[in-house]
């Protein structure tokens, strides 16, 4: 018989909660489909973060710090861009270009198999894309784009902050390539 682990219990509990939320839709009008999907996503994300935490515990300290700095930069970028927008308001189509930063991070990390050297290259590339986005937006929408109250210079400063987080993460990953467990 297979040993029951804490991880398997966690996923069974998450699946049970998701099942209960969707099942409750049959018996009450208090839960809409949108809410049920949102609750499911939140529960799956929580389980994913628990898995990520367990995986990171097997890495070196510098690797973990590098990973957290890069992930924090990505989460802050998504939050700021989704909430208020970086280039003007959140409705400005130029803000859709920030999806390229996430694509670079996801594809690069996967291709690098999360190894420190490849992660460093990925984060350098993400920082470069981050800096290029306002330049491309300025070229494509020079007069149409509303740059908001921050103006063009402010947008470049905000982008530099996020790029700096990615560069710091890349430097830490680079250091992690030389570190032994």
CA distances from 77 to 63, 74, 98, 153, 158 (A): 21, 5, 8, 18, 10
Backbone angles phi, psi at 74, to 5 degrees: -65, -45
Name residues of the chain where pLDDT drops below 70: 1, 142-150, 180-181
Are 121 and 108 spatial neighbours (Cβ–Cβ below 8 Å)?
yes
Q: What per-residue confidence (pLDDT) applies to 93?
A: 85
**82-127 confidence digits (pLDDT tens):** 888 888 878 888 899 999 999 999 999 999 999 999 999 999 999 9
Instruction: Name the pTM for this structure.
Output: 0.76
Q: What per-residue confidence (pLDDT) applies to 70?
A: 94
Q: What per-residue confidence (pLDDT) applies to 117?
A: 95
Are 122 and 105 spatial neighbours (Cβ–Cβ below 8 Å)?
yes
Q: Print burial letters for 58-67: b (CB count within 10 Å at least 16), e (below 16).
A: ebeebbbbbb
């Amino acid at each position: 018989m297979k040993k029951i682990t804490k991880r398997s219990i966690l996923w069974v509990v998450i699946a049970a909660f998701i099942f209960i939320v969707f099942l409750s839709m049959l018996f009450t009008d208090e839960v809409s489909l949108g809410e049920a999907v949102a609750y499911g996503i939140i529960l799956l994300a929580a389980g994913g973060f628990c898995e990520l935490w367990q995986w990171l515990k097997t890495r070196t300290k510098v690797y973990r710090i590098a990973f957290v700095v890069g992930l924090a930069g990505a989460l802050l970028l998504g939050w700021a861009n989704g909430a208020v927008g970086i280039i003007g308001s959140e409705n400005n189509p130029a803000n859709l270009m920030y999806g390229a930063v996430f694509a670079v991070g996801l594809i690069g990390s996967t291709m690098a198999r999360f190894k420190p050297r490849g992660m460093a290259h990925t984060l350098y590339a993400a920082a470069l894309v981050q800096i290029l986005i306002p330049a491309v937006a300025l070229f494509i929408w020079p007069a149409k784009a509303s740059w908001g109250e921050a103006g063009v210079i402010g947008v470049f400063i905000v982008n530099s902050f996020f790029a700096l987080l990615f560069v710091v993460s890349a430097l830490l990953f680079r250091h992690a390539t030389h570190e032994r467990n």
